[in-house]
Amino acid sequence: MSADRILIVDDEESIREIVSSMLTAASYQCRQAGSGVQALALLESGEKFELMLSDLMMPELDGIGLLERTKEKFPEMPVVMVTAVHDISVALKAIRNGAYDYLLKPFERDQLLATVRRALENRRLKMENRAYQLNLETLVAQRTEQLRKAVSSLEKSYDITLEALGGALDLKDAETEGHSKRVTAFTIEIARAMKLPKDDVLVIARGAFLHDIGKMAIPDAILRKPGPLNPAEVAIMREHCDHGYHMLKKIPFLKEAAEIVLSHQEHYDGSGYPRGLKGDQIPLGARIFSIADTLDAIISDRPYRPAQSLTAALAEIEKWSGRQFDPEVVKVFLTIPETIWDQLRKDIEKQINRFAYSATASARTSS
């Protein structure tokens, strides 16, 4: 490791030589400057010094002036002021202005070396701390970026998982193809209109998309029965809320969404199922979903009746406000422009058609 370089500044050559001799004997590299101006020129020439020893009283540019210039341009280099006893108040002022320490003339060799060692050790610790901080900031930035990429990748995996679950449900209940996507889009629109936090909207969207996932456990004979269900079949059909909840609750990223799945058939007045929850007992996401689900059911074709108008759907939802639906959510829902719902339906339809086209094209290629 190279020796520390020290700049000795004093207008008396004899003092410079004595100080330089003491430090050189202690294995330091020394350069001398006969004035503050010469010292500044050396520093600005690009020479690097770990420490500067400067006399306080010098012509042209005194020790205080040199200190001010060097602390501004070379803040990492400590400065030790060398002064006579009668200049002590000025030396203390210099310390307040950034000097590391001061030495009183005349000083002993041991005093000089002890002060120099302390100053250089202080510089070393500061440099190590600065390097540590920079390294830590870089490390944090790298880890943050790694985490961001990991989360992004995980979210993509979540989306793929959800799409697979939704696709499986569509195969199970083909008559309602696209329903989960439409009702999810409607739910998101209402949640945003309510100015809910982004993370809450994401949880609610997942619950909406998977609300009927429990129907995968319902026998096909009941799920696809063309006529009305008898009481026993109705009871089995109602179990889909519990089935869906138990399917999702053990999946960490779907745990909150599972509560919406369990509660999506609850009514605001307590007349719903499976737990007969009332009012705010029902998760907000389920209360929002309930309106979106009813909207899609009314304006979509069903085996037992053709689609009805959006006007009819809005009137029906308003009619059941306070009974089936949360009146506060209904108020927000009714403020959303009617054109939004038609546009969302068209967007979902395009997605379904693109998927169907891609699947057909893929099948033709593979054959």
- Supply the CATH number for residue 20's domain: 3.40.50.2300
> Domain check: are 9 and 119 in the same one?
yes
- Cα-flanking dihedrals φ and ψ of residue 206, to 5°? -65, -40
Supply the angle between the helices 284-299 and 198-209 in degrees, to the nearest 10: 50
Q: What is the pLDDT of residues 51-108, one digit of tens each?
A: 999 998 888 888 888 998 888 888 889 999 888 766 677 777 888 888 888 888 888 8
Q: What is the largest CA-CA distance in the chain?
A: 114
Q: Find where tokens 């086209």 sit.
A: 357
| pLDDT for position 366 | 46
> Domain check: are 116 and 57 in the same one?
yes
Sign of CA dihedral 290, 296, 302, 304: positive
| Joined tokens for residue 314 | 């809005």
Nearest alpha-carbon partner for 182 in 209, 214, 211: 209
| pLDDT for position 170 | 61
Q: What is the pLDDT of residues 222-273, one digit of tens each?
A: 888 877 889 999 999 999 999 999 988 888 778 899 999 999 999 999 999 9
Nearest alpha-carbon partner for 217 in 187, 232, 238: 238
pTM > 0.95: no
Adjacent-strand bridge partners of 80: 53, 101
In a domain, 125, yes or no: yes
Question: Order of strands, edge to edge, in the sheet holding 5-9?
Answer: 29-33, 5-9, 51-55, 79-83, 101-104
Mean pLDDT of 309-336: 96
In a domain, 23, yes or no: yes
Is residue 354 within 8 Å of residue 316, measured between CB atoms?
Answer: no
User: At 180, is the pLDDT very low, low, confident or very high (cuts 50, 70, 90)?
Assistant: confident
Adjacent-strand bridge partners of 79: 52
Sign of CA dihedral 237, 239, 242, 246: negative
Nearest alpha-carbon partner for 349 in 107, 138, 156, 181: 181
> Domain check: are 179 and 289 in the same one?
yes
- Supply the CATH number for residue 351's domain: 1.10.3210.10
User: At 320, is the pLDDT very low, low, confident or very high (cuts 50, 70, 90)?
Assistant: very high
> Domain check: are 179 and 269 in the same one?
yes
Q: Which domain holds residue 278?
A: 173-366
